[in-house]
Structure 1
Amino acid sequence: MTLKRRHVLLATPLALAGCGGILAKQPYVARSDWPLAPPPPGSGGVAGGRGVVLVRGISAGPTLSERGLITQLADGSVHVGYYNRWATSPAQATTAALIAWLQASGRFAAVVGDGSALTPDVIVEGTLDTLLADPTTHVARAALTLVVAKPVGISERPLAQRRLTATAPLAGPTAPDLVAAQRAALAAVLGQAVGMVVRAESRRG
């Protein structure tokens, strides 16, 4: 073994030990899972209304298949958070929240999800297009494209289709700020969704 190679081999453990000391000083950052579903308001109608509403699983738009909190950057690109994320996927949380909000409205005999044995009078489905915080404009944005249809035999007849959008003020750049603003924006969209389904159900004949 040459003298030069022996020096390299001897130096390597010392170099690794030095790197280990640096790595050991890096603080550990735990991931935080934030619940998304905003609670529904109190009943806005007469309990035990007419009609059974089936809410199919809401689909996820681009980037929303991941659980990380989304922040829109100044150049228009988006950043998907690694350390701060939703407890469940945004589309899944929106599906559960929409069912809860429709139930809380008191305007339907029953509101069910996929797999229910009840025969629906109205079917609701859609896509969560947007759920993000925009620190540049100090707002959070949510958008949900919703379709309400009436079963007709083995097919369906559309009753209404809309893209529902809402914004909410963003107080600051911290994770709790981002979460609160996005929840508020989604709550505003869910309120619109309930009104849309109520109107469509009243026209189904």
Structure 2
Amino acid sequence: MTARRPLLLLPLLTGCSVLPNRPYQETQRFALAPERPRRATPAARAPVLLVRSLRAGPGLEGRGLRSLGADGEVSSAYWQEWIAPPADLVEEALRRWLLASGRFSAITLPGSRLRPDLVLEGELLRLQAEPAAGRARAALSVLLLAEPQTGSGEARILGQFLAEGSAPLPAGLDVRAPGPEAAAALSAALAAALGELERRLAALVPARR
């Protein structure tokens, strides 16, 4: 009887499979690294800015390329993703952008020994393609604080705002898998949002000469 058991199990096994019931798709990974068009030289007395870790808003914790359908449903193809969590990529792009702006003598990380004059906190709220609307959108919420000049005291809130940007999307993209065209448009949308963020910071912190 024991010798026949494998044969008896064959009909049962043929109806089961551990393989996914979908065709193989090679993973596509996209960079998200917009650069400021021009690099400016900071003034001699430009402040030091500490940029704290950027938080990821709801639904933006994963690497998937997000797309919003006409019905309001958000989709993300499992084989199309960013090379790292988007909040991490946006934070790195933000640091490079603000350093290139020339408004700050240094952009530091948490734990740096360099004493900051200003502190920026933020959250990535939106990074999605919207094929039905023909656009890609990016948005960040920002809180800017001034550190006390002495060792004691509390940080002072200078401003809180929303920085948004958008860029056109090519027509005819698949909302379920918009692909590299959407990734490029999202990078352009992020560049627009970072430009808006820089302008808002400039209004809050006059340039030092």
With normalisation by structure 2, the TM-score equals 0.82
Indicate the residue corresponding to 2:106 in structure 1: 110
The aligned residue for residue 69 of structure 1 is 65
CA contact (8 A) 2:165 2:196 kept: no
Report what 1:197 is aligned to.
201
Moved more, 118-127 or 148-157: 148-157
Q: Output the CA distance in 1 between the equivalents of 2:10 and 2:83.
A: 46
Q: Which residue of 2 aligns with 1:83?
A: 79
Structure 2 SS opposite 1:136: helix
User: CA 1:138 to 1:114, structure 2 compared with 1: closer, same or farther past 3 Å?
Assistant: same
Q: CA deviation at 1:200?
A: 2.0
Distance 1:26 1:156, change over 3 A: closer
Over the matched positions of the two proteins, sequence identity in percent amounts to: 39
Gaps of 5+ in 2: none
Three-state SS of the structure 1 residue aligned to 2:142 is: strand
1:130 pairs, out of 126, 131, 145, with 126
Cα distance change, pair 126–26 in 1 and its aligned pair in 2 (3 A)? closer
Change (3 A) 1:26 1:195: closer
Partner of 2:138 in structure 1?
142
Amino acid at match of 1:47: P
Report the CA distance between 1:80 and its aligned residue. Answer: 2.2
Structure 1 residue 97, shift from structure 2 partner? 0.7
**Gap change, CA 1:26 and 1:164, over 3 Å in 2:** closer
Give the gaps of 5 or more residues in structure 1. Answer: none
Q: Is the 8 A contact 1:41 1:101 kept in 2?
A: no
The match for 2:161 is: 162
One-letter code of the match for 2:78? Y
User: Structure 1 125/191 Cα, relative in aligned 2: closer, same or farther at 3 Å?
Assistant: same
- Residue among 96, 101, 119 paired with 2:97: 101
Aligned 8 A contact 1:99 1:113 in 2: no
The 1:161/1:25 distance shift into structure 2, 3 A limit, reads: closer
Q: Could you say if the C-alpha distance between residues 55 and 169 of structure 1 is closer, same or farther in structure 2, counting changes exceeding 3 Å?
A: same
Match of 1:47 among 34, 42, 47: 42
The 8 Å contact of residues 103 and 207 in structure 2, kept in 1 or not, is answered as no
How far residue 9 of structure 1 moved from its aligned partner, in angstroms, is: 3.2
The verdict on how the C-alpha distance between 1:147 and 1:71 changes in structure 2, with shifts beyond 3 A counting, is same
CA distance in 1, matches of 2:137, 2:159: 23
The 4+ residue runs of structure 1 with deviation greater than 4 A are: 23-27
Alignment length, in residue pairs? 195
Alpha-carbon offset, residue 47 of structure 1: 3.0
Describe the SS at the equivalent of 2:165. Answer: strand
Change (3 A) 1:12 1:188: same
Does the CA contact (< 8 Å) of 2:41 and 2:102 recur in 1? yes
**How much is the aligned-residue C-alpha RMSD, in angstroms?**
2.8
Cα 1:121/1:76, change in 2 over 3 Å: same
Q: TM-score, normalised by structure 1?
A: 0.84
Partners of 1:130 and 1:27 lie apart in 2 by: 30
Q: Deviations over 1:117-175 (max 9, x none)?
A: 11111111111100000111110111111111101234211111111112110114240
- 1:25 Cα deviation from its structure 2 partner: 11
The amino acid of 2:87's aligned partner reads A
Note if contact 1:59-1:128 (Cα within 8 Å) is conserved in structure 2: yes
